[in-house]
Amino acid sequence: MPDFPWAPGTATGIGSLPGIDIAEAQRIVLGELPGLPHLAELPERGPGADMIGRTAGFLVEMPVQVYAGRWQISSKPGKDLRRTADLLERDLDELTEQADGYSGPLKIQAAGPWTLAANLDLPIGGRMLRDPGAVRDLTDSLAEGLRRHVAEVRKRVPRATVLLQLDEPSLPSVLAGRVPTESGLSAYREVDGPDAATRLRGLVEAVDTPVIVHCCAPEFPLQVIRDALASAVAFDLSLLKDLDPLGEAIEAGLGIFVGAAPTRPGTGRGPDSKQIAERVSTLWRRLGFPAARLPEQVVITPACGLAGAPMGYVRALLKACTEAGRRIAEV
């Protein structure tokens, strides 16, 4: 079994939190997720803090702008790109200050190349997804930008082991040919699994750090993620339908980030670490793997991002995930 870059019984967050105060958000992450904290993302701050804009800011020699409410490739850098860079710099400064002296795994996040291609517009209109050559150039540019980003985080938190999470919520739609054109009357042609994996793998190899591919959409493509040589997959447990591909991935040594905690408060009491741990343990028992492997190979997370949740619930939920990780490690 691989030597995973996290301790047994670890929990983490997916990335996004509510609000606009990065200092508070980063304090919560570092305080409630001591085993695997992450760089907090606050999309409520607007353009440049959203997943697509934030990631487009990493592109090298491929400037972007907001046009008619959407991100689009532009001819030269402008105010939208400056705002994106300023927000990221502020986030990294906060991380640098608060994580001073931290040693252990530290996760950063960005949209993956297929989700970016499905949501970023060409200068002439239409998604980048329509042009295979543009997708290739986009992936190469993103790979170089994320390689630089990883290096910057390593410089700022030198004792940390940096992990990169690629968010790919659009990947199932890309593979199935369900990404709509601008008119909404048709869809872009499907991308086959091997081609999707090849692009992802090029990025995974370029960044030279463990990569987690996160997809909290139904029918997340485990084979593509495995073929891309990712170190782990992150998914929403409530959307899992077929256990066999997951069992095969676990057997092959893929790390599993299980989204087992609800991202919104229910009608009853707050998040329950015992229930979260039991959901994960039940899945593991159904898969038939030795109990000793569970805390080593599995990381517990919320089902998806937390941008829309109340801050008090977020703090309680992350704390419950950490406690659930301790519970599965004690079994």
pLDDT in tens, 230-279: 999 999 999 999 999 999 999 999 999 999 999 888 766 778 999 999 99
Q: Can you tell me the distance from the alpha carbon of 136 to that of 140, in angstroms, rounded to the nearest whole number?
A: 6
Q: What is the CA radius of gyration of the chain?
A: 19
Residue pair 14/304 in contact (Cβ under 8 Å)? The answer is yes
How does 104-127 read in b/e, with b if 16+ C-beta sit within 10 Å? bbbbbbbbbbbbbbbbbbeeeeeb
Q: Can you tell me the distance from the alpha carbon of 296 to that of 159, in angstroms, rounded to the nearest whole number?
A: 22
The predicted pLDDT at position 275 comes to: 95
The predicted pLDDT at position 266 comes to: 74
pLDDT in tens, 150-196: 999 999 999 999 999 999 999 999 999 999 998 878 999 999 999 99
The predicted pLDDT at position 218 comes to: 85
Lowest mean pLDDT among 20-29, 180-189, 218-227, 302-311: 180-189
Q: Can you tell me the distance from the alpha carbon of 17 to that of 49, in angstroms, rounded to the nearest whole number?
A: 11
pLDDT in tens, 205-219: 999 999 999 998 888
The DSSP line for 5-30 is SS-TT-B---SB-SSS-HHHHHHHHH
C-alpha torsion 318→323→324→327, nearest 10: 170
Mean of all residue pLDDT scores within the chain: 95
Q: With 80 as the cut, is the pLDDT of residue 44 above it?
A: yes
Q: Can you tell me the distance from the alpha carbon of 16 to that of 38, in angstroms, rounded to the nearest whole number?
A: 10
Residue pair 280/300 in contact (Cβ under 8 Å)? The answer is yes
The predicted pLDDT at position 1 comes to: 64
